[in-house]
Each structure stands twice: as structure tokens, then as C-alpha cells.
Amino acid sequence: MNQLSERVILVDHPMVQHKLSILRDKNTSSGQFRQLVRELSLFEVYEATSDLALEPVHVETPVAMATCMQLTGRKMAVVPILRAGLGMVDGVLDLIPAARVGHLGMERDHDTHEPHEYYAKMPRDIAERDVLVVDPMLATGGSCIAAIEYLRRLGVKNIKVMVLVAAPEGIDALLAADGDVRLYTCAIDECLNEDAYIVPGLGDAGDRIFGTV
Ligand code: URA
């Protein structure tokens, strides 16, 4: 893990870098791509939960009493941005099976060109939960920023964003749009191209996860 700033964390474990290289390869099959997205999400959520609070608990082992540590039980939710974010949910749930899942679909308004939610289904108590917003690619940052604004309107206080690949343009926009959010990414790429694809990136993550290329 490489803390680039107070709010940007690069998850650059050697296993992560190796898996990301396979993910980027245009010849990687859809099935393998999906599995790698899940595995990378698991590595990333491990880092994104490294600041969770602990409290002491007394446990009787077969040999003696032990004072151990357990999570204080803060409730968590994972919110995938449809559609590509769905590919990261199982990796998060592998580590945090008790997390609730909220779904958020974003689209661009025809008139204003601003992203807004076309579908949202959140856990009832989302405002009391720590939320992990997941989307494999942070390109312009538009839909991610709109997702955060939506969650803030619902009263969510603690939001972390997990992506696999980020463009510098998206990172700058995200940090400028929200003063508190923390970003976890496995790579920071060079730039966006004229079609707003990340360069070198990995192509359209949703198409590659769902085999719709
Ligand atoms: N979304 C993608 O899936 N890929 C990109 O490169 C940019 C946005």
C-alpha cells in the first residue's frame, strides 16, 4: 500500500500489479477478467478496511482465557455503480459478508449532460453505514461524483471509493468535488483519450466483465 496523499491510496502489492497486468491484456477472456476483478477487489477492500476500529474481547480458547480484538461492529455497505461496479461486489463480500449492497445506476441527462441516478436501491439505514462506492474505472469522475453527491444527500458521512484504474483527471475532479472522500486505486494511468477512455487502461470494463464486447 502506498499512501500518495491523505486521501489517495495506491494499492500496489506485487500480487495486485501482476493481476492487473493480466486484466489489461486485450486477449484475457471474459471469464478470467471477471475473476481477476473479484480478486483485485478483495485485495483492495483489505486495504480500505485497515483503519476499522477494534475493541478488546475475552475469548476462551481450549487452553486458557485470551484477550483478543474484534471489530467494533460499525455497519458497512457497498454501493456498485452500474453496470461495471457489479463486478467488484463479490470480492468485497468475500471479506465483509455482512455488508449490505446498494445499487446505483447513473446516466447523463439529455439536456444538461450532467450525470444523475436513473436507478437507486439503498439499504434503509444507509445514512448510518460506512459506504464503499465501487466502480472499476475512474475516468472523468462524473458518475462517481454524482454517486457521492447522491449518498451525501441521503446523509452518508463516511464514504470511500474503490476503483481499479484511475485517470489523473478523474482523481483531481473527485478530490475537488468532495472534501472528505478517500480513493483507493490499483493504478494511476496516463490520461484520458478523446473518447474519455483511460490510456493505457483496459478498455470498457463493463463490456469485458459481462462479455458484451
Ligand atoms: N470506463 C471504462 O470502462 N473504461 C474506460 O477506459 C473509461 C471509462
Please state the domain extents for the chain: 8-210
Residue 204 catalytic? yes
- d(Cα 80, Cα 86) in Å, to the nearest integer? 5
Closest protein CA for atom 4 of ligand 1: 204
Q: Are 88 and 37 in contact (CB under 8 A)?
A: yes
Residue 111: the pLDDT is 76
Phi and psi angles of residue 40, each rounded to the nearest 5 degrees, phi first: -65, -35
Closest protein CA for atom 2 of ligand 1: 204
Which of 171, 204, 208 for mutating ligand 1's site (highest number of atoms within 8 Å of CB)?
Answer: 204
Q: Is 102 annotated as a binding residue?
A: no
Q: Which atom of ligand 1 is nearest to the CA of 84?
A: 3
Residue 94 catalytic? no
Cell 495486485 -> residue: 16
Q: Is 189 annotated as a binding residue?
A: no
Residue 1: the pLDDT is 76
Catalytic residue among 12, 90, 130, 204: 204
Report CA(202)–ligand 1 centroid distance (Å). Answer: 8
Q: Is 204 annotated as a binding residue?
A: yes
Q: Give the ipTM.
A: 0.96
Residue 108 catalytic? yes
pTM assigned to the model: 0.95
Each residue's pLDDT tens digit in the chain (213 positions)? 788 788 999 999 999 999 999 999 999 999 999 999 999 999 999 999 999 999 999 999 999 999 999 999 789 999 999 999 999 999 999 999 999 999 999 987 777 778 889 999 999 999 999 999 999 999 999 999 999 999 999 999 999 999 999 999 999 999 999 999 999 999 999 999 999 999 999 999 999 999 998
What are the cell numbers at 47? 486495504
Residue 207 catalytic? yes
- What CATH number should be reported for the domain whose range is 8-210? 3.40.50.2020
- Residues in the ligand 1 pocket, defined by CB under 6 Å: 84, 137, 139, 197-198, 201, 204-206
Residue 74: the pLDDT is 83
- d(Cα 65, Cα 61) in Å, to the nearest integer? 6
Report CA(58)–ligand 1 centroid distance (Å). Answer: 48
